[in-house]
Amino acid sequence: MLIRVGFELVYEFAHKTPIVFMLNVHPSRARDLVQPDHLRLTPTLPLTRYLDAFGNICSRLVAPPGEIEIRADAVVADCGRPDVVEPAARQHEVGELPHEALVFLLGSRYCETERLMNVAWSNFGRTPPGWPRVQAICDFVNSHLRFGYPHARPTRTAVESFVERRGVCRDFAHLAVTLCRCMNIPARYCTGYLGDIGVAPEPEPMDFSAWFEVYLGGRWYAFDARHNVPRIGRIVMARGRDAADVALSTTFGQNTIKRFAVVTDEIADATIGIEAAERRVA
């Protein structure tokens, strides 16, 4: 299937302000880009691209005072199948994990493993290791937290989500990531596009989504504690330890977001533009 993805962001800056964006589709999906997701800025400004320590595409610029608009519009070829489910995927002993997976066992800015260790082991210590244990964690988080956009708070941590019992998709992912790490399962936070493909459309405007991946059976698998069912058309943009590593924009100065629109929509061909896709989503 073909999936149109894109966004439009409009910022207003009071002063000249450096910015780092993380708004491109992840390099792991580069071969699937039928139409590349070049970032377009109004006014035209010089962009510098680089890969961060987690392999995510970053773009940096210095915005002048006033408004700037940044857009991207891409077409991705997707297999059209739901997330892989592999109930027999085994949990590795820590001593046999690859070096690069070890960092995803550690506590991080939003994932305080030390503070949830007892909670994790008391709830999941008797569950079968591997896939069933991760699924049990997803089931717990899905039922423990209440989803709602009014609950969004950019500073909320996994512990606060656990106590407050509410949040948005990033909070569901942070809590699940933290509980997995407490159980010695490498877990990394993901952000990207996830449209209403194969499911009933949600009434809220389209947004970027957050989920997580765990390392089991020698590979990484996607899990989604908010939806808690395999989904079609998941397109990753960035991966990291938590949301601090994969912020879609990091601005080093005062600013206001004046417009925010996201498109994720299955299409019949690659000729439809983002404006038409937005109308279809609406």
Same domain? 150 vs 228: yes
Residue 281 has pLDDT above 60, yes or no: no
Gap between the Cα atoms of 272 and 109, Å rounded: 40
Same domain? 257 vs 207: no
pLDDT band at 206 (very low <50, low <70, confident <90, very high): confident
User: pLDDT by residue (tens digit) across 165-189?
Assistant: 999 999 999 999 999 999 999 999 9
In a domain, 85, yes or no: no
Query: What CATH number corresponds to the domain at position 262?
Result: 2.60.40.2250
Residue 241 has pLDDT above 60, yes or no: yes
The tokens describing 249, both together, are: 């924009």
- The closest of 234, 219, 277 to 98, measured between CA atoms, is 219
Same domain? 227 vs 104: yes
pLDDT value, residue 24: 97
Mean pLDDT of the chain: 94
Residue 272 has pLDDT above 60, yes or no: no
Query: What CATH number corresponds to the domain at position 175?
Result: 3.10.620.30
User: pLDDT by residue (tens digit) across 70-80?
Assistant: 999 999 999 99
For residue 74, what are the β-bridge partners?
5
In a domain, 242, yes or no: no
Same domain? 21 vs 151: no
- Percent of the chain exceeding pLDDT 70 equals 95
pLDDT value, residue 279: 39
In a domain, 267, yes or no: yes
pLDDT value, residue 45: 95
Same domain? 256 vs 160: no
- Percent of the chain exceeding pLDDT 90 equals 91
pLDDT band at 278 (very low <50, low <70, confident <90, very high): very low
Same domain? 179 vs 111: yes
In a domain, 104, yes or no: yes
The pTM for the full model equals 0.93
Same domain? 8 vs 51: yes
In a domain, 206, yes or no: yes
Domain containing residue 253: 2-80+247-281
State the Cα angle at 263 between 189 and 267, rounded to 5°.
Answer: 110
Residue 54 has pLDDT above 90, yes or no: yes
Same domain? 34 vs 128: no
For residue 66, what are the β-bridge partners?
13
DSSP β-ladder status, 166-167 and 40-42: unpaired
